[in-house]
Amino acid sequence: MAWRGLHVSRRSYLSLADNQIVAKQDEGEVRVPIEDIAWIVLDSPQVTLSTALIAACMEAGVVIVTTDQTHTPSGMLLPFHRHHRQAEIASVQNDVSLPLKKRLWQVLVRRKIDNQASNLIACGRDAAALRAMAHLVGSGDPDNVEARAARAYWPRLFADFIRDDGTDKRNALLNYGYAIVRSAVARALVAAGLLPAFGLNHASVTNAFNLADDMVEPFRPFVDRQVWVLTSQGTVRKGETTVAERQALASILTETTTFRAETVSLLTATEQAAESLVRAMQTRSPVVLQLPQMDP
């Protein structure tokens, strides 16, 4: 069962041998059973993969994340049609009514805001305003409480912070972590038989991962907390991201969360959340959707 990932930041040649990933570097080679791996991050332009390994990764459901010259995740490779009832589940997904989509989005936004509040508490910040906002989210969030909560959240978490400031190191780290979690969510959706292009709230015709962008929302505060820790409690603004920081964010899926009163890894939470989304669609009941809960 897959439970960990690989972050490759140096010149390497990755190949397949005896159902193992073989990583050859200047110092030697490392072998890892492919069945243990859920994600691979290629964080260097000097990484080469064999086609046999790529095919094996797709067969095993391993998501491969690529990065650009600034070390920002820029793409991902996912397998097609891994579920034995793909057509049946795709049909259920296609038949989801607009009212149910709105109710499911309501559940997602409420949990996201609750997790943001828990994150503020964990970081020693006041979260009363966000706790109150979570209860105001209506079906489809017509009053855009999600955006109002964000305006209250970010100034409390980070000092002197603008979310879209490309010169702020914290934004680069946030985007890196979000991309890692988004790839895991997309992997889980595909494994559950869902088509990630068809979302609940996100509906861009150019986005192949609308549903992943819906489902990733409650997971974002876990990345926020990691970035808060990595940047000396949210105060470091300048400088390039380091390999150590990117490695820490690439491993965020091994962090734990509460899911249905149990402690599981974030990776497992993505899988269970995707499976519960299928059940919610099948039963036409938004209360069936289960999501990770951050422990404050």
Q: Which two structure tokens, joined as six digits, stand for 26? A: 């200047």
Q: Which stretch of DSSP H or E encloses residue 40?
A: strand 37-42
Pairing of strands 47-49, 12-17: parallel
User: In angstroms, rounded to a whole number, what is the distance separating the alpha carbons of residues 183 and 161?
Assistant: 26
> 86-288, what's its fold?
Four Helix Bundle (Hemerythrin (Met), subunit A) (1.20.120)
pLDDT at residue 84 in the model: 65
What b-and-e string marks burial along 113-150, b requiring 16 or more CB atoms within 10 Å of the CB? bbbbbbbbbbbebebeebbebbeebeebbeeebbebbb
Radius of gyration of the chain (CA): 19
Mutual angle of helices 86-94 and 266-283, in 10-degree steps = 70
Cα–Cα distance, 3 to 56 (Å, whole number): 17
Q: Tens digits of per-residue pLDDT, 153-194?
A: 999 999 999 998 989 999 999 999 999 999 999 999 999 999
Q: What distances in angstroms separate CA 93 from CA 188, 281, 289, one per listed residue?
A: 15, 7, 14
Domain 4-77 fold: Ribosomal Protein L15; Chain: K; domain 2 (3.100.10)
Q: Do domains 4-77 and 86-288 have the same CATH topology?
A: no
Amino acid at 171: N
Q: Looking at the predicted structure, is the pLDDT value of residue 243 above 80?
A: yes
Proportion of the chain above pLDDT 90, given as a percent: 88
Which pLDDT score, from 0 to 100, does residue 237 have?
Answer: 87
| Band (81; pLDDT cuts 50, 70, 90) | low
Reply yes or no on whether the pLDDT at 83 is more than 90: no
| Token pair of 38 as six digits | 């859920």
Is a pLDDT exceeding 90 seen at residue 128?
yes
The residue assigned the tokens 């570097």 is 25
CA nearest neighbour of 71 among 202, 278, 243, 236: 243
Q: Is the pLDDT of residue 245 over 90?
A: yes
pLDDT at 18: 96
Where along the chain do its domains lie? 4-77, 86-288
Q: Across all residues in the chain, what is the average pLDDT?
A: 94
Instruction: Give me the amino acid identity at 177.
Output: G
Distance in angstroms (rounded) separating the CA atoms of residues 12 and 32: 14
Which tens digits make up the pLDDT trace of 99-124?
999 999 999 999 999 999 999 999 99
Category of 234 on φ-ψ map: left (φ > 0), alpha (ψ -120 to 50) or beta = left
Q: Strands 4-8 and 37-42, how do they pair?
A: parallel
pLDDT at 232 over 90: no
Task: Please give the backbone phi and psi of residue 30, each rounded to the nearest 5 degrees, phi first.
Answer: -125, 140
- Average pLDDT (133-159) is 97
Please state whether 41 falls in left (phi above 0), alpha (psi between -120 and 50) or beta.
Answer: beta
* Rounded average pLDDT over 213-235: 94
H/E segment holding residue 98: helix 98-122
Q: Which amino acid is at 274?
A: A
CB atoms within 10 A of CB 106: 21
Q: What is the pLDDT of residue 59?
A: 92
pLDDT at 137 over 80: yes
pLDDT of residue 10: 93
| Residue 82 in this model has a pLDDT that exceeds 80 | no
Q: What band does 64 get if pLDDT is binned at 50, 70 and 90?
A: very high
pLDDT digits (tens, 9 = 90+) for 254-287: 999 999 989 999 999 999 999 999 999 999 999 9
Distance CA 70, CA 44 (A): 10
Q: What integer pLDDT is reported at residue 270 of this predicted model?
A: 97
**SS3 assignment, position 64:** strand
